[in-house]
Structure 1
């Protein structure tokens, strides 16, 4: 099928017959499904399960005082070290090395669970005294074995934030693989949304006066969309998003300010913005979050690719930091 126009327009089909926008979107989405399924089946190995003990630290912190948080960080470090020893005994040296790095004395974690791909929340900044809290919600292919990427982005974002803002890197769900059929459905997002809602409730109890901004990248935006109704946050920021499973900001049923930005080189722009209901699943995530009809506040995100939003010196990083701080994003031409 020759495609020489943007998705949503009628373009040339077989024998010159026009192909309608909805039909084209369905065809393109079907192609994405085929590719997502074919790649893993044709030889991409699934990650092997790495054994880990149940964490000893499971209850939320009792308070957000510096002493209580320090006690939590020490206890969580012990959980990370225990998981590292289990990985080492099982011969998973890469995982063991990653966990030793996470257990360094200058790292601080609110929670950690090494089972089922890993769940963890890392703290950057002074959570006890922060006026605002930014929560990074990552997308696909994020886990303990790829945590360095999340850490690098979080570190750069923290450097761009003022001291009154604490940053939390939240890996609270088992993310789907980019090359999988799961990334086209909201199944993993439903699990993540449940966990995210519980986490935000804990933050609200610990820091009732702090503003909370969710920074939701890629598939993480689907998690945030599922969690949004009634969630007590000030801002929900969608970036690199193919959709959130809702057709408009109003459908999210949130009082938060919803922002959306996408970089010029992000391949997500080419994903068909539609939903197809099948007997076994719903594929796709609906309206493009950066489209005017979705109703989000736009922000400039530069010309980078899908993984470039938190690169140093980019307007996307500057604007994510500005929104997380409670300020206004800058226009593309105003960014030095």
Structure 2
């Protein structure tokens, strides 16, 4: 009987969060600067083989797109964006795709994709865009260094991420729109690298994106961390053959969100079962004591365990702390 008052409190908390976000949206929208213009990217043929020559062509096309966006930003008078784009266009950077419009869409490779036997694809959560991109890339760099040779990490910013000050953060709408893009990208990657072990690492709201895509993905593992829920009740409902892992650090504020799902006539609020709970049924790992953005921090317990999962070294993964 004690569970009923608790459920009512969680429902009220979620609805209160919705009201807060609904009020915050007009304020944040008013303060948000005008979008920085960028040209449409050139159409690219599918990557059918990850040979050095084929990858060099894709990386060159990505660099051309970034430089075109840099020129547009400079013409617009946004020196900060232009400088960031110039850094992204460095010869050492490797973009399989780039689109500078609407906050940005990228797929950047860290490591040698042609030789990689283990590939991790990172799917970010809220407030990730070209303006915050380097933090996202830093996670990819840290993971690739932890994995070492014969590995590559792809920082996949392939969708419009929600803002923490928007009601979008409470609904699966953006995840539903993003899932087909993630499926298409993973399909292309697995065709180009059929022998590689591919794992999907999904942070925060990115775990909702991965869950929506899961039934159509051919990956070895799906790892959700710092997750508000996935939008399903259990691993079984993901309809995937991948091994599903979940972790949450002791210092992550997301532990305090209400893990409920409320179906209203025109939308669904919340994402349901806590992925690190026994009821969800994922394999859990020790994610240490860091904060919401610290899972891939160099030297952390969570980074070490995530690298072991990507490598398929499941027996070496330390359990949930």
Please say if 1:25 is aligned against 2:10: yes
Please say if 1:100 is aligned against 2:86: yes
Whole-angstrom distance in 2 between the partners of 1:317 and 1:286:
26
Secondary structure of 2:215's partner?
Answer: coil
Report the CA distance between 1:221 and its aligned residue.
0.3
TM-superposition CA deviations, 1:145-189 (whole Å, max 9, x none): 110110111111111012112110000001010121001001110
Which residue does the alignment assign to 1:255?
241
Equivalent pair of 1:140/1:175 in contact (CA under 8 Å): yes
Equivalent pair of 1:287/1:294 in contact (CA under 8 Å): yes
State the TM-score, normalizing by the size of structure 2: 0.95
Flag structure 1 segments of 5+ consecutive residues without an equivalent: 1-7, 11-18
Whole-angstrom distance in 1 between the partners of 2:39 and 2:90:
19
Secondary structure of 1:229's partner?
Answer: helix
Secondary structure of 2:299's partner?
Answer: coil
Equivalent pair of 2:66/2:89 in contact (CA under 8 Å): yes
Whole-angstrom distance in 2 between the partners of 1:230 and 1:122:
22
Alignment of 1:251-330 (within 5 A): 251-328=237-314, 329-330=316-317
Please say if 1:85 is aligned against 2:71: yes
Q: 1:281 to 1:163 in 2, by over 3 A?
A: same
Whole-angstrom distance in 2 between the partners of 1:203 and 1:134:
11
Flag structure 2 segments of 5+ consecutive residues without an equivalent: none
Whole-angstrom distance in 1 between the partners of 2:197 and 2:318:
24
Alignment of 1:176-191 (within 5 A): 176-191=162-177
Secondary structure of 2:216's partner?
Answer: coil
Which residue does the alignment assign to 2:95?
109
Alignment of 1:84-233 (within 5 A): 84-233=70-219
Secondary structure of 1:318's partner?
Answer: helix
Secondary structure of 1:243's partner?
Answer: coil
Secondary structure of 2:199's partner?
Answer: strand
TM-superposition CA deviations, 1:302-336 (whole Å, max 9, x none): 111101111111100111111111112532799xx
Please say if 1:237 is aligned against 2:237: no
Q: 1:52 to 1:121 in 2, by over 3 A?
A: same
Whole-angstrom distance in 1 between the partners of 2:27 and 2:111:
44
Whole-angstrom distance in 2 between the partners of 1:60 and 1:203:
9
Q: 1:47 to 1:276 in 2, by over 3 A?
A: farther
TM-superposition CA deviations, 1:20-72 (whole Å, max 9, x none): 12211110101111222222334562342111111124332242111110111
Whole-angstrom distance in 2 between the partners of 1:249 and 1:304:
25
Q: 1:9 to 1:77 in 2, by over 3 A?
A: farther
State the TM-score, normalizing by the size of structure 1: 0.91
TM-superposition CA deviations, 1:3-28 (whole Å, max 9, x none): xxxxx955xxxxxxxx6122111101
Equivalent pair of 1:57/1:111 in contact (CA under 8 Å): no
Which of 255-264 and 176-185 deviates more?
A: 176-185
Equivalent of 1:331, from 315, 318, 321?
Answer: 318
Q: 1:332 to 1:140 in 2, by over 3 A?
A: same
- Matched residue count: 319
Equivalent pair of 1:172/1:195 in contact (CA under 8 Å): yes
Which residue does the alignment assign to 2:24?
39
